[in-house]
Structure 1
Amino acid sequence: MILFLVGHTLSVRRRIVTLTVLAAVLAITLFGVPLALAVAKFHESMSTHDLERAADTVALAVTGDLANGRVPELRPAELGPEGQTRTLGIVIGVYSPTGRLLTGQGPAHADDFVRSARDSDRASGLLGDEVVLAEPVLSGPAVVGVIRASHPRAVLDDRIRSTWLKMAGLAGIAIAASWLIGLRISARLARPLEELAVTAERLGEGDFTVRTRRTGVREIDQVAEALDATSERIGETLERERTFSSDASHQLRTPLTGLRLQLEAALESPDRDPYATIRDGIASADRLERTIDDLLALATQSRAPRALLDLGKLFEEVRQTWHGLLAGRGRALRISGREALPARAADAAVRQVLAVLLDNAATHGRGTVTVVARDAGDALAIDVSDEGTIPDGTDPFVTRDEAQGHGIGLRLARSLAEAEGGRLRLSSPAPTTFTLLLPAERPSPREEGPGLAS
């Protein structure tokens, strides 16, 4: 996926730059070619205009001589501006009505343009390597001569070529500018993709806290949001798996130990009824299965529905699970308050909280372990105590043998209590007492009325 994103990013850069340059080339071609043709036409028109102006100047100067039958003499001043004539290479020839060259430069006999001009106002075009314009000289209604003006075609070609070269230079500058713009746009669009590639790489390395920066490009931000959501979901899934692994290893140890002790006691008492041992083993296996179901529910974040807590049944399970374990260590278990104020909570959650507290008392405490349910105002309080002590300044939910997993169990118990709307706190460090508080559900006055009346 990472190589794909990197390769895709490079491909995006190239595509953006290529498309930008191609768009510029296409636009320049669509506008440049017609413009180049128009420029050529413009220079042809200007060339004809220059020849026309030179011919008009000469015609004004020689009309009188031609009308009187004299051969005119061309002077430099009559050829128009000297600089223009010299620069353009314009040459002038004066012809008689019969087509004979009288003065100036040109073919000895009239060409097609001179002959055409005798019968029209003007004739112009290309002839060989020249640009030619011919116009008649009139004296009244009569044609008394023809003026032929021409200059080398190379002059016109040079003008057109020079303009085209300038246009090509401007086109090159425009293409280079579009290339630079394409690079900038591609960098702006590809940088977020590169950041996504880096994020994906870190995600692949196991860093599920990585997040992507928003760019303001909607499509890229949608990919970033999807990647962030995926990272968060994967992180949560792995965290649940880690939590489940630690919780399972911690919580399953006690029922497995109880089952083992039952089997070992049966082996040491061959005269004991095997059916009783089997029944006790099945009951322990049922409690183990219930513990596994509770832990799986925790791992998948699915909670059992809250119902009125059956303290009698719950405390009986506590007695069956822990009495033998504590007795094997020479310690007693006392349970009281089975008829305390009812509370609404999930049996599985409360069962796991008590399992953590009793395991904590059996592992770290001393003497008799006591489980008491009592009325605490608007809450049902279940105290789990032993005769041990916790040093001052010690937070058992964080530091108490956390390396061995016991702190993890207390944190689990507290999170389960809070998920049920209750609290778990250390009521007394000496003797060690943990109190589970659950919201109580008191009977309504209508339900209490008959009892009071009786």
Structure 2
Amino acid sequence: MRRRLINSTLAVVLVVIAVFGVSLVIVETRTITNSARERVESEAVRLASIVDSRLLSDEKVTVGILKDQVAIEERYAVIEMPGHPPLELGEKPEGDVIAYTAPGEQGEKVTVEEPRSAVTQEVGRTLLIIAGVALLAVVAAVLLAVRQANRLTSPLTDLASTAERLGSGDPRPRHKRYGVPELDRVADVLDGSAERIARMLTAERRLAADASHQLRTPLTALSMRLEEITMTDDLDEVKEEATIALAQVERLTDVVERLLTNSRDPRTGSAVSFDLDEVIKQQLEEWRPAYRSAGRAIVSSGKRHLTAVGTPGAVAQVLAALIENSLMHGGGTVALRTRVTGNQAVIEVTDEGPGVPSELGSRIFERTISGRNSTGIGLAVARDLAEADGGRLEMLQASPPVFGLFLSRTPMRKNQDGDEAGHTIR
């Protein structure tokens, strides 16, 4: 492309120089020739007037007198007077000449000649000047073409490199502009695409991490139920365990759907009014075998028959994350307590362990932040799920640890302006 830009610019300049240069040469040649003829004619008329004036005064007309009055220089002049021999001024030129004869009032004739070679030399000097200017124009055009080609091709090469990096999986925007509106527009589009790709990759990685973390516990619990089924011959116990396993499969499906929905739009939810006792009971049944295996207990207490607004599956996942966190990092008995504050239902999860280290503090909900060798994802996902349902998850106390899940008891409705508003359940 660089070579094509230079060649096209040079071709345009050469065409312009050829058209205007030839025209200028023709005009200058005619101008110089006409000027030479006017000089010869003017000189002949002037010599004739001098001769006339001397003849009228009965004065002598000699070569010396005429040389003193008229500068002949490179011209040749012949004065023919009746009854007198011709007078010659200068040297007769050889070759082609420009001549003019001016008649006098006393019958004399004055002929002035100038060699055409002088005109040719002047035309040659003019051609050299025109050629020099044309050469300078060509050099300036080449330099300008090279500069413009570099200005255009370098950004294009840079943009191609950026596009190649995007294709290879490096979505970092460069935020580099080139001062050319069209190229800057392409750079804006590429940077916007890079940011969107980066967000998509981040969302995909986050979904994969969340899915692996959130699915691990339900799958572990399900495998434990299946193991218990394989180890018993009691048909009633097999049916009971199978029923629980099927319920866990349904919750596992709900986990997957919730993760996919939350990854597309965290604000999207299917909040309904539900009974907290059912969700808490389900979590106790699901986690008791794991706590029994660890030699610990999990219990519930507090206000019963509370109705909250949210997604039961999401609330179950939040409680599962808190219970699993207590199992891994806490100690002693884990208690789930329910209470009411204002228009909110609160589920508190606490244990008898050492609590959250002071250096973590409120950072406990940040991703990759963990007090031990864990992923540091569970609490972060739990808070996101709670906020997606219009609730919130907070650490109420560091030692002993107390986490509180706050859920609204008032369903949300859309008002005339499209905003969400609440009304009390009766």
C-alpha distance in structure 1 between counterparts of 2:69 and 2:119, whole Å: 19
Relative to structure 1, the CA distance from residue 66 to residue 402 in structure 2 (aligned partners, 3 Å threshold; closer, same or farther) is farther
Question: Scaled by the length of structure 1, what TM-score is found?
Answer: 0.77
Q: 1:56 aligned to 2:45?
A: yes
Classify 1:209/1:423 alpha carbon distance in 2 versus 1 (closer, same or farther; 3 Å): farther
Match of 2:30 in 1: 41
Gaps of 5+ in 1: 1-10, 109-126, 449-454
1:238 — aligned with what? Answer: 201
Counterpart Cα distance in 1 of 2:48 and 2:360: 121
* Most deviating of 227-236 and 24-33: 24-33
| SS state at 1:425 partner | strand
Cα distance change on mapping 1:279 and 1:305 into 2, 3 Å: closer
Residues in 1 aligned to 2:110 and 2:408: alpha-carbon distance in whole angstroms: 120
Alignment of structure 1 residues 109-148 onto 2, 5 Å: 129-139=95-105, 144-148=107-111
Q: Which deviations, in whole Å up to 9, do the C-alpha atoms of 1:191-228 show, x marking residues without a partner?
A: 54344345445545544333322344321222111111
Query: Hey, what's the Cα distance between the residues in 1 that align with 2:60 and 2:197?
Result: 107
Distance change >3 Å, CA 307–CA 158, structure 1 → 2: farther
Match of 1:183 in 2: 146
- The residue that corresponds to 2:14 in the other structure is 25
Matched, 1:104 2:67: no
Identity %: 31
Q: State the distance in 1 between where 2:63 and 2:309 align.
A: 126
SS of residue matched to 1:417: helix
Q: Corresponding residue for 1:422?
A: 391
Distance in 1 between the 2:300 and 2:60 partners?
148
Moved more, 381-390 or 326-335: 326-335
- Pick from 263, 278, 283: which aligns with 2:242? 278
CA distance 1:221–1:33, shift in 2 (3 Å) = same
How far is the alpha carbon of 1:81 from its aligned partner? 5.0
| 1:331–1:368 Cα contact (<8 Å) kept | yes
5 Å matches for 1:49-448?
49-63=38-52, 73-75=62-64, 77-78=66-67, 81-82=70-71, 85-86=72-73, 89-94=74-79, 102-104=86-88, 129-139=95-105, 144-204=107-167, 206-273=169-236, 274-301=238-265, 303-336=268-301, 337-340=303-306, 342-390=307-355, 391-395=357-361, 396-398=364-366, 399-401=369-371, 403-405=373-375, 407-441=376-410
Shift of 1:43: 0.5
d(CA) in 2 for partners of 1:345 and 1:404? 28
Flag the 1:15–1:352 CA change in 2: closer, same or farther, 3 A.
Answer: farther
Deviations 1:286-313 (A, max 9, x none): 2222212122223333522333344244
Partner of 1:116: none
| 1:372-407, Cα deviation, whole Å (9 max, x unpaired) | 2321224332212222122333343353246431x1
Query: What is the alpha-carbon distance in structure 2 between the residues aligned to residue 265 and residue 216 of structure 1?
Result: 71
**Counterparts of 2:423 and 2:95 in 1: how far apart (Å)?**
123
Q: Which moved more, 1:217-226 or 1:304-313?
A: 304-313
Q: Aligned letter for 1:271?
A: D
State the aligned residue count. 408
| TM-score normalised per structure 2 | 0.82
Cα distance in structure 2, aligned partners of 1:327 and 1:130:
129
1:252 is paired with a residue of what secondary structure? Answer: helix
Given residue 88 of structure 2, which amino acid in structure 1 is its aligned partner?
Answer: G
CA contact (8 A) 1:294 1:352 kept: no
Distance in 2 of aligned mates of 1:419 and 1:29: 75
Amino acid paired to 2:134: A
* CA RMSD, Structure 1 to Structure 2 (Å): 3.6
Q: Which moved more, 1:298-307 or 1:221-230?
A: 298-307
User: C-alpha displacement at 1:249, in angstroms?
Assistant: 1.4
Distance in 2 between the 1:197 and 1:228 partners? 13
Q: Secondary structure at the match of 1:151?
A: strand
